[in-house]
Amino acid sequence: MTEGVVEEGEPVSGRYFEPGSARAFPATMTISKDFATIRFERDGVAKCSVREIRGVGARLGSVPRRIELEGGALFEAPADAEITVGPGRASPMLARVFRLESSWRTVAILVVATSVLVAVIFRYGMPVMANVAARVTPAPISAIMDAGTLETVDRTLFSATELSAAEQRDLTERFTTLAPHADTGSRDLVLLFRSSPLIGANAFALPGGTVIMTDELIAVARDDDEIDGVLAHEIAHVEARHTLQTIYRAAGLAIMVGVIAGDSGQMVDTLLSQAAALQQLSYSRAFEIEADLRSVELMLAAGEGRNPLAFIDLLDRLVEEMAPGASEQEEGFFSTHPGNPNRRETVLQHARSLGWDG
């Protein structure tokens, strides 16, 4: 049999749809030189002139081929059915798509173009969309995310703090001197303390306004300004909704990969679960710089005599105390707060632009 031709009298199995109806009837179609004959499984025969066939869907992957009949009736044949009813009746658009699909050069060009498009969306479009989504996320939703994330990290990463009640009270009071200067909308800022030998000296900002500081970080701080600098930095992350944006970017990437791979639902669930566990919430350098600069503003707004560079002093000391090569592995604080050799100079210049002369 010649490819693309149904020989006279050869039946094609498929489904018949009446005009304007989604109900299908099992049937076979036999195309001859002049007529198309449809035989139904439950008796009955319909016959029409070949000239009454308005269009035939071209081959396109696994898409069923549809034969459109005059009056709105439709016969749907398998994707591999070989059908020809004369020139001019095949769908021009589907025919062109089929020809493109059959050309490896065209497929290669489309793959490259798709890759470039995905890269552009990831680099430029996704941050914008994530920012918009973060800005419109209601505070109650952020609070629910905080609760779920906190439950996860308490179960997997943290243990109860070993700080005394007096130490916790003193640190919370310092936190409350910084919090009023931040614009967090309807989200309430809350400071929590946890111990975690596993992740060491670290601090986190959850999307709903919860800031977590580890005992290990407090232990290595040499003065109150270093603690305040860390707190101001995390408050800045909350204010700018960096954690929410990170989660939405991760979800957007999962959706993009899932759509391409054909399994978006499961991938989105998995990625969001990982993001919620904080271990995947590494801030971008742009977010870190933004939080650094905002922390300077919060420190200076909270009162005179504070050193807005103390936070950088603490970071430098943490790097020095790490084993050789540890900073490249981004352990501890740097697993969620990437380092930057130009950080001190950037912060210093911003502080001086605001009138700090320390």
Q: 217-264, pLDDT tens digit by residue?
A: 999 999 999 999 999 999 999 999 998 888 888 777 666 555 555 554
Residue-level pLDDT at 25: 85
Residue-level pLDDT at 165: 96
- Tell me the pLDDT tens digit for each residue of 265-288: 554 455 444 444 444 445 678 899
For residue 98, what pLDDT band results from cuts at 50, 70 and 90? Answer: low
pLDDT of residue 307 exceeding 90: yes
- String of DSSP letters for 112-173: HHHHHHHHHIIIIIHHHHHHHHHHHS-HHHHHHHHHHHHHHHHHHT-EE----HHHHHHHHH
Q: CA 128 to CA 125: how far, in whole Å?
A: 5
For residue 82, what pLDDT band results from cuts at 50, 70 and 90? Answer: confident
Residue-level pLDDT at 192: 97
- Tell me the pLDDT tens digit for each residue of 151-187: 999 999 999 999 999 999 999 999 999 999 999 888 8
Q: 8 or 153: which carries more pLDDT confidence? A: 153
Residue-level pLDDT at 120: 75
Residue-level pLDDT at 257: 57
**Torsion over CA: 182, 185, 188, 193 (sign):** negative
pTM equals 0.61
Highest mean pLDDT among 77-81, 111-115, 192-196: 192-196
**Nearest by Cα to 153 from 207, 194, 201:** 194
For residue 102, what pLDDT band results from cuts at 50, 70 and 90? Answer: low
Q: Please, is 89 exposed, middle or buried when counting C-beta atoms within 10 Å of its C-beta (0-12, 13-18, 19+)?
A: middle
Q: 100 or 267: which carries more pLDDT confidence? A: 100
Residue-level pLDDT at 154: 93
Collapsed DSSP state (helix, strand, coil) of residue 62: coil
pLDDT of residue 354 exceeding 60: yes
Angle between helices 285-301 and 343-353 (to 10 degrees): 40
Phi and psi torsions of 2, nearest 5°: -70, 135
Look at 6-20, 77-91, 147-161, 329-343 and tell me which has the smallest mean pLDDT: 329-343
Residue-level pLDDT at 116: 80
For residue 60, what pLDDT band results from cuts at 50, 70 and 90? Answer: low
Q: What are the chain's domains?
A: 11-101 (2.30.29), 120-353 (no CATH)
- Tell me the pLDDT tens digit for each residue of 195-226: 999 889 999 899 899 999 999 999 999 999 99
Q: Kindly state the helix (H) or strand (E) to which residue 16 belongs, with its residue range.
A: strand 11-17
* Token digits of residue 76: 């749907």
pLDDT more than 90, % of the chain: 33
Going by their DSSP bridges, the two strands 190-195 and 210-214 should be labelled as: parallel
For residue 329, what pLDDT band results from cuts at 50, 70 and 90? Answer: very low
Q: CA 337 to CA 174: how far, in whole Å?
A: 22
